[in-house]
Structure 1
Amino acid sequence: MKYQTLEELNAVAEVEPSFPAMTRTQRLEHWAMLLERNPERCIVAFPGTEYMTLDVRHKGQCVGSALSIAFADPVLRAQGLKDDTYGEAKRFFELAEWQLHAIVCHCHVGATMKAGWAAVQVRSAIDKDSKLFSKLREAIARRPVFRILTHLRE
């Protein structure tokens, strides 16, 4: 076996550092930490996600949003974050539709929000099963009438 330096290997192959896989909680904690680095930073909110069709919502992007901050981070990209779309964030962070909506939608804050506010919303999604309101919201979302109305809106 021939010994080669990292620089020599980079000349013939793409060498990427190996990171242990992060859990859902670790990914969300990391995202919150990124937002908390500059809590007064003004970030863009997604307009009316609840009124978009499912396809449009999942492809939606906003430059300067909380999702852009997550995608700009090399650690989250190395963990598998593919882009800064709404649908990719939902998949990667394993968020329910209402959780991601609470983090990025304008209906709670207007066109912009403080990064610190978004961080609080991200942290509230970490322990999604322990809060009574979360359990109630999930129970209501599973009701047939709610699903039909949601489907009609999408």
Structure 2
Amino acid sequence: MEHKPLDQLRSVADVQPRPLSREERLQRWIDLLERDPKRRLNSLGEIEYKPPAERALVREDNSPLTVAYDDPVLRADGLASDRLGDAMRYFALSDGQAHYALCSCLSGRTMEAVTCAQRLRNATGNVAWQSAVGAWVLAALAVSLPGLVYLLS
């Protein structure tokens, strides 16, 4: 098998890298943030009060969105800008997830990169196990409540 650099292959074939999955995109962003955990980043100012069209255009210099957009891999994969709307589309973030991870009302005017990384992880992680635990806790309370009432009366 002959090995050739990617640039040479592109001259003879249409070479397209595999697009990243949502989980891979988010993990890459989190990894980028965690590379410099103490870096102070600007949060986005009270995004929940802005109309949707205006919210989509929100950006801040030196924000977590800037960290993502500065990465050539994420840009090549389709991240269009460091505006909130583009990031929400690319990372498939809901309004609530974006608000929790990026808004100034929860983190103040600035936050450490590691804090944003943890918020992204919490907001976008698999919460199925949390729902299951919650269901078991509610079931345990429902079963034990009559006994507790009997003991306390």
Instruction: Sort the TM-score into its range (normalised by shorter chain).
Output: 0.7 to 0.9
Kindly provide the CA deviation profile for residues 53-72 of structure 1, in whole angstroms up to 9, marking residues without a partner as x.
11110011111000000000
1:7 Cα deviation after fit: 7.6
Superposition pairs of residues 4-153 of structure 1, within 5 angstroms: 18-130=16-128, 131-132=130-131
| One-letter amino acid of the structure 2 residue matched with residue 43 of structure 1 | L
1:126 Cα deviation after fit: 3.1
| Number of residue pairs the alignment of both structures matches | 126
Q: Looking at secondary structure, tell me which structure has more helix per residue.
A: 2
Identity of matched residues, %: 35
TM-score for the superposition, normalised by structure 1: 0.73
Q: Which has the larger radius of gyration?
A: 2
3-state SS of the aligned residue for 2:41? strand
Whether the aligned pair in 2 keeps the contact of 1:24 and 1:94 (CA below 8 Å) is yes
3-state SS of the aligned residue for 1:113? strand
1:127 Cα deviation after fit: 2.3
Q: In the alignment, which residue of structure 2 is the partner of 1:135?
A: none
Counterparts of 1:36 and 1:17, CA distance in 2: 31
TM-score for the superposition, normalised by structure 2: 0.73
Counterparts of 2:15 and 2:7, CA distance in 1: 13
Kindly provide the CA deviation profile for residues 31-85 of structure 1, in whole angstroms up to 9, marking residues without a partner as x.
0000000000000011110111111100111110000000000000011000000
- Segments of 5+ residues of structure 1 without an aligned counterpart are 133-154
Cα–Cα, structure 1 residues 7 and 48, in superposed 2: closer, same or farther, change >3 Å?
closer
Counterparts of 1:8 and 1:54, CA distance in 2: 45
